[in-house]
Chain A
Amino acid sequence: MDAVRNGDLAKLGLLFERHHRALFDFLVRMTGSPSTAEDLVQDVFVRVLKYRGTWRGEGRFDTWLFRIARNARADYFRTRPPSAPIDDAAEYPSHSPLPGDLLARNRDVARLQRALMLLREDKRELILLARYRGMKLEAIADLLGIEVGAVKVRIHRAVKELRDIFLRLNESPSWKTTSSIGSCPTT
């Protein structure tokens, strides 16, 4: 990134190759829409190009990148309606029919996926960063601008709520929370 900041724009391609998959994975899980995630990844790298002068070389580059990604996503949904629930969007490939235990397991996973999309955005984001991106607590704290202890408390609450939603979906598959998908601002 130092090279890009100093004018070697060719290196942006290298940064793209290294980081676009992680960004896409985070954004597609946040939005539930591959096409939206693709647009947002594009937007992130355009912003990196545009704001390269603000990179100070302090801290981790991926934390800086995810900060840009969070802003890009927030800006994107500021002018658009929130995305549909993941299962309604039907953009994810469906799983092949599976026998016995595998099928039950598959249903549980699908239900958990739905529960994740029903979770409030700020909580979902926290889970995605910790679980799928494997971010350290310190990095998440830096990204969100809060203390490590607060990150732990929030992860606890987020997973607890996710589990509650998941269990309620198990009791009644048609149940949905009153909060709309993707509509709650991050804190």
Chain B
Amino acid sequence: MENDKLNRLLPDDVDPREADGLDATWRMLGAIDAPAPDSDRMRARLDTVLGAVEHAAPPASPRWFGRRDVDGGRYALQGLAAAAVLLVGIAIGRFVVPDTTRLPDSSSEIAAMRSEMRELREMVSLSLMQQQSASDRLKGVTWTGQLDRPSSEVISALVDALMHDPNVNVRLATIDALERFASRDDVRRAAIQAVDRQMSPLVQIALIDFLVKTNERQSAPTLRRLIEDPQVNDAVRSRAAWGLQQLG
């Protein structure tokens, strides 16, 4: 590599003996390895973004992404909720007519760009949560953690995933994601409903912990019902009893 030698990168007046000492450190830096990226996974994530753009774009564009065209169907936005479609429309409308003349130079333009970025991230999260693949839906839930101020559509999508997603891991991840919004009544209500409906003891236990953490006293009747129901998993009943005690 061109910069293997430190000397040529230092000011001319550096003492040669000092430069030699620093060069030893510089050379040793070359021995520090860094992990390799998971290129396939990263490429798939990028393809998902482009897939979302493709779906909202005019049909005049037959090819969007070269060799991954065969995978295009995988990233189709099947059954995208009306709110997500609206967001896609907004985002693409702005993609199609970018400002090609100048760099952003005012705070209002920067604010507008940030807003567009947020919309794009939301769009990606929402579209991932609609995918067939559980791992994609999991990514979608995880992505919501990167949103500073997610819209109500995102929170509704998370609540919907908590109630209806067939995959346990997705539902568990959703509980984590919803913790940020525990101050919202609708989120806490959904958690109470979900703990009653869930078939998975793991998810039920995670929900009980959520309710305790958020000090949701209105969940007490539901927890009592769980404790008294002999059909409920023993670990869940025991956790519910603990939860009830915590809530006082």
A positions within 8 Å CB-CB of B: 5, 9-10, 12-14, 16-17, 20-21, 24-25, 28-29, 34, 37-39, 41-42, 45-47, 49-54, 79, 91-93, 105, 108-109, 112-113, 116, 127, 130-132, 134-137, 149, 152-153, 155-156, 159-160, 162-163, 166
Please list 10 pairs of residues, one from A and one from B, whose beta carbons are closer than 8 Å in the complex, sorted by A's number. A12-B50, A12-B65, A13-B50, A28-B35, A54-B103, A91-B35, A112-B29, A134-B1, A159-B26, A166-B25
Q: Which residues on the B side are within 8 Å of A160 (C-beta)?
A: 18, 22
Q: Which residues 48-62 in B have Cβ within 8 Å of A in the complex?
A: 49-50, 53, 61
Q: Is the interface of B mostly helix, strand, loop or mixed?
A: helix
B82 close to A (CB within 8 Å): no
Contact A24 B116 (CB under 8 A): no
Q: Which residues on the B side are within 8 Å of A108 (C-beta)?
A: 28
Contact pick for B3, options A9, A130, A156, CB 8 Å: A130
B199 close to A (CB within 8 Å): no
Give Cα A92–Cα B36 distance, bound, in whole angstroms: 10
Stretch at the interface among B8-16, B190-198, B200-208, B228-236: B8-16
Q: Closest 7 interchain pairs by CB? A: A53-B98, A24-B37, A53-B100, A134-B1, A163-B25, A109-B31, A152-B11
Within the complex, what minimum Cβ distance (angstroms) separates A182 from chain B? 16
Q: Which residues on the A side are within 8 Å of B64 (C-beta)?
A: 9-10
B17 close to A (CB within 8 Å): no
Stretch at the interface among B39-47, B158-166, B176-184, B209-217: B39-47
